[in-house]
Amino acid sequence: MSHQPKTSAHRQTPIAQTASGNGRVLAGLADIVKIYTIPGSPVEIPAIRGVSIEVKEGEYVAICGHSGSGKSTLLNLLGCLDHPTSGRYTLGGLDVSKLDDNALSEIRSQRLGFVFQSFNLIPQLTLLENLEVPLIYQGISPILRRQRALEFIERVELSDRINHRPMELSGGQQQRVAIARAMVNDPLLILADEPTGNLDTATGEIILKLFDQLHNEGKTIILITHERSVAEHCRRIITLRDGYVIEDIDTRSNTSKP
Ligand SMILES: Nc1ncnc2c1ncn2[C@@H]1O[C@H](COP(=O)(O)OP(=O)(O)OP(=O)(O)O)[C@@H](O)[C@H]1O
Ligand SMILES: [Mg+2]
Protein backbone atom coordinates (compact mmCIF):
# COMPACT_ATOMS: atom_id res chain seq x y z
CA MET A 1 0.00 0.00 0.00
CA SER A 2 1.39 3.37 -1.01
CA HIS A 3 -0.25 5.53 1.63
CA GLN A 4 1.97 8.20 3.07
CA PRO A 5 1.78 9.36 6.68
CA LYS A 6 -0.92 11.97 6.98
CA THR A 7 -0.79 14.64 9.63
CA SER A 8 -4.57 14.95 9.26
CA ALA A 9 -4.86 11.98 11.64
CA HIS A 10 -3.93 14.39 14.39
CA ARG A 11 -6.06 17.26 13.20
CA GLN A 12 -7.99 18.83 16.00
CA THR A 13 -11.66 19.03 15.19
CA PRO A 14 -12.89 22.52 16.01
CA ILE A 15 -15.35 22.63 18.86
CA ALA A 16 -18.77 23.72 17.70
CA GLN A 17 -19.86 27.04 19.07
CA THR A 18 -23.48 26.06 19.31
CA ALA A 19 -25.26 22.74 19.66
CA SER A 20 -26.56 23.05 16.12
CA GLY A 21 -23.27 23.80 14.40
CA ASN A 22 -20.88 26.70 14.03
CA GLY A 23 -22.07 27.83 10.63
CA ARG A 24 -19.46 26.28 8.32
CA VAL A 25 -20.88 23.82 5.82
CA LEU A 26 -19.17 20.46 6.14
CA ALA A 27 -21.25 18.36 3.76
CA GLY A 28 -23.24 19.93 0.95
CA LEU A 29 -25.50 17.95 -1.35
CA ALA A 30 -26.88 19.81 -4.37
CA ASP A 31 -29.64 18.15 -6.35
CA ILE A 32 -28.30 14.65 -5.77
CA VAL A 33 -29.91 11.84 -7.73
CA LYS A 34 -29.14 8.14 -7.38
CA ILE A 35 -30.69 5.71 -9.81
CA TYR A 36 -29.74 2.07 -9.41
CA THR A 37 -29.55 0.02 -12.57
CA ILE A 38 -29.35 -3.72 -12.78
CA PRO A 39 -26.84 -5.03 -15.35
CA GLY A 40 -28.63 -6.59 -18.32
CA SER A 41 -32.00 -5.24 -17.26
CA PRO A 42 -33.83 -2.11 -18.42
CA VAL A 43 -35.17 -1.61 -14.88
CA GLU A 44 -34.08 1.60 -13.15
CA ILE A 45 -34.66 2.18 -9.46
CA PRO A 46 -34.65 5.86 -8.49
CA ALA A 47 -33.57 5.66 -4.83
CA ILE A 48 -32.70 9.37 -4.34
CA ARG A 49 -34.54 11.89 -6.51
CA GLY A 50 -33.00 15.32 -6.19
CA VAL A 51 -31.86 15.90 -2.61
CA SER A 52 -30.25 19.20 -1.60
CA ILE A 53 -29.11 19.53 2.01
CA GLU A 54 -26.28 21.17 3.89
CA VAL A 55 -24.84 19.80 7.11
CA LYS A 56 -22.78 22.21 9.15
CA GLU A 57 -19.82 21.49 11.42
CA GLY A 58 -20.99 20.23 14.79
CA GLU A 59 -24.48 19.29 13.67
CA TYR A 60 -26.16 16.14 14.97
CA VAL A 61 -28.57 14.96 12.30
CA ALA A 62 -30.99 12.05 12.06
CA ILE A 63 -32.14 10.73 8.71
CA CYS A 64 -35.52 9.06 9.12
CA GLY A 65 -38.04 7.41 6.86
CA HIS A 66 -39.78 4.14 6.14
CA SER A 67 -37.98 1.10 4.81
CA GLY A 68 -36.97 1.68 1.18
CA SER A 69 -37.22 5.48 1.43
CA GLY A 70 -33.53 5.88 0.51
CA LYS A 71 -31.82 6.36 3.89
CA SER A 72 -28.94 3.91 3.39
CA THR A 73 -28.49 5.07 -0.19
CA LEU A 74 -28.14 8.65 1.02
CA LEU A 75 -25.72 7.64 3.77
CA ASN A 76 -23.64 5.64 1.27
CA LEU A 77 -23.40 8.75 -0.90
CA LEU A 78 -22.50 10.95 2.08
CA GLY A 79 -19.92 8.32 3.06
CA CYS A 80 -18.33 8.25 -0.40
CA LEU A 81 -19.20 4.56 -0.66
CA ASP A 82 -21.07 5.17 -3.89
CA HIS A 83 -21.27 7.69 -6.74
CA PRO A 84 -24.35 9.82 -7.32
CA THR A 85 -25.98 9.46 -10.75
CA SER A 86 -26.04 13.25 -10.90
CA GLY A 87 -25.67 16.25 -8.62
CA ARG A 88 -22.81 17.70 -6.63
CA TYR A 89 -21.43 16.62 -3.25
CA THR A 90 -18.94 18.81 -1.44
CA LEU A 91 -17.23 17.43 1.68
CA GLY A 92 -14.99 19.69 3.74
CA GLY A 93 -14.74 22.10 0.80
CA LEU A 94 -13.78 19.40 -1.70
CA ASP A 95 -16.06 18.38 -4.57
CA VAL A 96 -16.10 14.61 -4.19
CA SER A 97 -18.90 13.83 -6.64
CA LYS A 98 -16.60 13.22 -9.60
CA LEU A 99 -13.72 11.43 -7.84
CA ASP A 100 -12.74 7.89 -8.86
CA ASP A 101 -12.92 4.87 -6.54
CA ASN A 102 -9.31 5.17 -5.33
CA ALA A 103 -9.70 8.81 -4.43
CA LEU A 104 -12.99 8.09 -2.65
CA SER A 105 -11.36 5.33 -0.63
CA GLU A 106 -8.65 7.79 0.40
CA ILE A 107 -11.34 10.29 1.48
CA ARG A 108 -13.13 7.61 3.47
CA SER A 109 -10.04 6.61 5.39
CA GLN A 110 -9.01 10.20 6.15
CA ARG A 111 -12.23 12.13 6.61
CA LEU A 112 -14.98 9.71 7.61
CA GLY A 113 -15.88 7.36 10.44
CA PHE A 114 -18.54 4.67 9.99
CA VAL A 115 -20.75 2.81 12.45
CA PHE A 116 -23.05 0.08 11.10
CA GLN A 117 -26.00 -1.82 12.52
CA SER A 118 -24.04 -5.09 12.44
CA PHE A 119 -20.87 -3.55 13.99
CA ASN A 120 -18.62 -4.84 11.12
CA LEU A 121 -15.58 -5.52 13.29
CA ILE A 122 -12.92 -7.88 11.93
CA PRO A 123 -13.56 -11.17 13.77
CA GLN A 124 -9.97 -12.50 13.62
CA LEU A 125 -8.48 -9.38 15.21
CA THR A 126 -8.46 -8.31 18.85
CA LEU A 127 -10.25 -5.13 19.88
CA LEU A 128 -7.01 -3.21 19.93
CA GLU A 129 -6.04 -4.47 16.47
CA ASN A 130 -9.49 -3.55 15.13
CA LEU A 131 -8.86 0.02 16.25
CA GLU A 132 -5.42 0.07 14.71
CA VAL A 133 -6.64 -0.87 11.22
CA PRO A 134 -7.86 2.61 10.15
CA LEU A 135 -4.52 4.03 11.30
CA ILE A 136 -2.50 1.52 9.25
CA TYR A 137 -4.26 2.91 6.15
CA GLN A 138 -3.09 6.36 7.18
CA GLY A 139 0.52 5.25 7.50
CA ILE A 140 0.73 6.03 11.24
CA SER A 141 3.71 4.39 13.00
CA PRO A 142 3.05 1.23 15.06
CA ILE A 143 3.84 2.96 18.37
CA LEU A 144 1.48 5.84 17.68
CA ARG A 145 -1.17 3.42 16.42
CA ARG A 146 -1.07 1.45 19.64
CA GLN A 147 -1.13 4.62 21.75
CA ARG A 148 -4.11 6.04 19.90
CA ALA A 149 -6.01 2.73 19.88
CA LEU A 150 -5.52 2.41 23.65
CA GLU A 151 -6.72 5.98 24.17
CA PHE A 152 -9.95 5.36 22.27
CA ILE A 153 -10.65 1.94 23.75
CA GLU A 154 -10.42 3.62 27.13
CA ARG A 155 -12.94 6.24 26.02
CA VAL A 156 -15.52 3.51 25.47
CA GLU A 157 -14.54 1.87 28.78
CA LEU A 158 -13.24 -1.40 27.38
CA SER A 159 -9.60 -1.17 28.45
CA ASP A 160 -9.92 -4.47 30.30
CA ARG A 161 -10.90 -6.30 27.09
CA ILE A 162 -8.26 -5.13 24.62
CA ASN A 163 -7.02 -8.62 23.77
CA HIS A 164 -10.47 -10.11 23.29
CA ARG A 165 -11.96 -10.82 19.89
CA PRO A 166 -15.31 -9.27 18.88
CA MET A 167 -17.24 -12.55 19.28
CA GLU A 168 -16.29 -12.61 22.95
CA LEU A 169 -18.18 -9.37 23.56
CA SER A 170 -21.85 -8.46 23.84
CA GLY A 171 -23.53 -6.56 21.00
CA GLY A 172 -23.42 -3.30 22.96
CA GLN A 173 -19.72 -3.75 23.70
CA GLN A 174 -19.01 -4.51 20.03
CA GLN A 175 -20.85 -1.37 19.02
CA ARG A 176 -18.78 0.65 21.52
CA VAL A 177 -15.64 -0.71 19.85
CA ALA A 178 -17.11 0.22 16.44
CA ILE A 179 -17.67 3.79 17.67
CA ALA A 180 -14.11 3.95 18.98
CA ARG A 181 -12.90 2.69 15.60
CA ALA A 182 -14.96 5.35 13.83
CA MET A 183 -13.34 8.01 16.03
CA VAL A 184 -9.73 6.85 16.02
CA ASN A 185 -8.75 8.64 12.80
CA ASP A 186 -10.31 11.91 14.01
CA PRO A 187 -12.83 12.08 11.15
CA LEU A 188 -14.53 15.21 9.87
CA LEU A 189 -17.86 13.38 9.83
CA ILE A 190 -19.27 10.34 11.63
CA LEU A 191 -21.90 8.35 9.74
CA ALA A 192 -24.03 5.73 11.46
CA ASP A 193 -26.59 3.43 9.81
CA GLU A 194 -29.11 2.15 12.39
CA PRO A 195 -26.40 1.94 15.10
CA THR A 196 -28.88 0.70 17.72
CA GLY A 197 -30.84 -1.53 15.33
CA ASN A 198 -29.42 -4.80 16.70
CA LEU A 199 -29.46 -3.79 20.35
CA ASP A 200 -32.07 -3.90 23.09
CA THR A 201 -33.46 -0.57 24.26
CA ALA A 202 -31.26 -0.23 27.36
CA THR A 203 -28.05 -1.05 25.46
CA GLY A 204 -29.15 1.22 22.63
CA GLU A 205 -29.45 4.06 25.14
CA ILE A 206 -25.81 3.55 26.21
CA ILE A 207 -24.74 3.81 22.57
CA LEU A 208 -26.88 6.93 22.05
CA LYS A 209 -25.32 8.53 25.15
CA LEU A 210 -21.93 7.97 23.54
CA PHE A 211 -23.12 9.75 20.39
CA ASP A 212 -24.59 12.56 22.54
CA GLN A 213 -21.20 12.92 24.21
CA LEU A 214 -19.41 13.12 20.85
CA HIS A 215 -21.90 15.75 19.71
CA ASN A 216 -21.24 17.77 22.87
CA GLU A 217 -17.54 17.66 22.02
CA GLY A 218 -18.30 19.25 18.66
CA LYS A 219 -18.24 16.21 16.38
CA THR A 220 -20.47 16.20 13.32
CA ILE A 221 -22.75 13.16 13.25
CA ILE A 222 -25.31 11.89 10.77
CA LEU A 223 -27.29 8.93 12.00
CA ILE A 224 -29.94 6.85 10.24
CA THR A 225 -32.83 5.49 12.19
CA HIS A 226 -36.44 4.57 11.69
CA GLU A 227 -37.17 5.02 15.40
CA ARG A 228 -38.46 8.37 16.54
CA SER A 229 -37.01 7.88 20.05
CA VAL A 230 -33.52 7.57 18.55
CA ALA A 231 -33.99 10.54 16.22
CA GLU A 232 -35.03 12.69 19.17
CA HIS A 233 -31.45 12.56 20.48
CA CYS A 234 -30.47 14.56 17.39
CA ARG A 235 -30.80 18.30 16.89
CA ARG A 236 -32.11 18.00 13.36
CA ILE A 237 -34.37 15.40 11.78
CA ILE A 238 -34.48 14.95 8.01
CA THR A 239 -37.27 12.67 6.81
CA LEU A 240 -37.14 10.88 3.46
CA ARG A 241 -40.00 9.39 1.50
CA ASP A 242 -39.55 7.67 -1.87
CA GLY A 243 -36.16 9.31 -2.34
CA TYR A 244 -37.33 12.85 -1.54
CA VAL A 245 -36.77 14.96 1.59
CA ILE A 246 -40.28 15.56 2.89
CA GLU A 247 -39.35 17.23 6.19
CA ASP A 248 -36.26 18.87 7.69
CA ILE A 249 -36.76 20.11 11.24
CA ASP A 250 -34.65 21.67 13.97
CA THR A 251 -35.72 19.77 17.09
CA ARG A 252 -34.58 22.57 19.39
CA SER A 253 -36.75 25.30 17.89
CA ASN A 254 -39.18 22.93 16.16
CA THR A 255 -38.87 24.92 12.96
CA SER A 256 -38.66 23.55 9.45
CA LYS A 257 -35.79 24.39 7.14
CA PRO A 258 -36.86 25.97 3.87
N1 LIG B 1 -27.77 -1.95 -4.80
C2 LIG B 1 -29.03 -1.72 -5.14
N3 LIG B 1 -29.49 -2.04 -6.36
C4 LIG B 1 -30.76 -1.79 -6.72
N5 LIG B 1 -31.67 -1.20 -5.93
C6 LIG B 1 -31.28 -0.86 -4.69
C7 LIG B 1 -29.95 -1.10 -4.22
N8 LIG B 1 -29.85 -0.64 -2.95
C9 LIG B 1 -31.05 -0.16 -2.64
N10 LIG B 1 -31.92 -0.27 -3.67
C11 LIG B 1 -33.31 0.19 -3.72
O12 LIG B 1 -33.31 1.59 -3.48
C13 LIG B 1 -34.39 1.98 -2.65
C14 LIG B 1 -33.85 2.65 -1.38
O15 LIG B 1 -33.14 1.67 -0.64
P16 LIG B 1 -32.36 1.99 0.73
O17 LIG B 1 -31.57 0.78 1.07
O18 LIG B 1 -31.65 3.26 0.57
O19 LIG B 1 -33.60 2.18 1.74
P20 LIG B 1 -33.60 2.40 3.32
O21 LIG B 1 -34.41 3.63 3.57
O22 LIG B 1 -32.23 2.36 3.85
O23 LIG B 1 -34.44 1.14 3.82
P24 LIG B 1 -34.28 0.26 5.19
O25 LIG B 1 -34.93 1.07 6.29
O26 LIG B 1 -35.08 -0.98 4.87
O27 LIG B 1 -32.84 -0.03 5.43
C28 LIG B 1 -35.18 0.69 -2.39
O29 LIG B 1 -36.23 0.64 -3.30
C30 LIG B 1 -34.17 -0.40 -2.64
O31 LIG B 1 -34.80 -1.57 -3.06
MG1 LIG C 1 -31.21 1.02 5.16
pLDDT at position 6? 37
- What is the model's pLDDT at position 64? 96
Our mutation pick for probing the ligand 1 site, out of 33, 72, 85, 116, counting the most ligand atoms within 8 A of Cβ, is 72
Residues 6 or more apart whose Cβ sits within 8 Å of residue 178: 115, 116, 119, 120, 121, 195
DSSP-based three-state secondary structure for 131: helix
For residue 58, how many other CB atoms are within 10 A of its CB? Answer: 26
Residue 108 is which amino acid? R
Nearest-atom index, ligand 1, CA of 75: 18
Beta strands in the chain (DSSP E): 25-37, 44-56, 60-64, 86-91, 94-95, 112-116, 189-193, 220-224, 236-241, 244-250, 255-256
Pocket lining: 72 vs ligand 1, CB cutoff 6 Å: yes
- The residue whose C-alpha atom lies closest to atom 30 belonging to ligand 1 is 68
Nearest ligand, CA 65: 1
Architecture of the 59-82+100-256 domain: 3-Layer(aba) Sandwich (3.40)
Mode of pairing for the β-strands spanning 112-116 and 25-37: unpaired
Q: Is 44 in the pocket of ligand 1 (CB under 6 A)?
A: no
How far is it, in rounded angstroms, from Cα 231 to Cα 213?
15
- In the sheet that 86-91 helps form, which strands lie side by side, from edge to edge? 44-56, 25-37, 86-91, 94-95
CA dist., res. 226 & res. 224, Å (int): 7
Residue 75's identity, in one-letter code, is L
pLDDT by 10-residue block (mean), the chain, 258 residues: 36 38 87 94 95 96 96 96 95 92 92 93 96 90 96 94 96 94 93 93 91 94 93 95 96 76
Phi and psi at 237, nearest 5°, equal -125, 120
Domain boundaries, the chain: 59-82+100-256
pLDDT of residue 253: 79
Q: From the CB of 56, is ligand 1 less than 6 Å away? A: no
| 71 alpha carbon, closest ligand | 1
Q: List 54's β-bridge partners, or say none.
A: 28
Burial 17-48 (b: 16+ CB within 10 A, else e): eeebbbeeebbbbbebbbeeeeeeeeeeebbb
**Is the separation of the CB atoms in 188 and 92 below 8 Å?**
yes
What was the pLDDT predicted at 87? 97
CA dist., res. 156 & res. 247, Å (int): 34
Determine how many CB atoms are found less than 10 A away from the CB of residue 106: 16
pLDDT of residue 258: 65
Alpha carbon distance 36, 224 (integer Å)? 20
pTM here is: 0.88
The radius of gyration of the chain's CA atoms, rounded to the nearest angstrom, is 18
Tell me the CA–centroid distance for residue 219 and ligand 2, in Å.
23
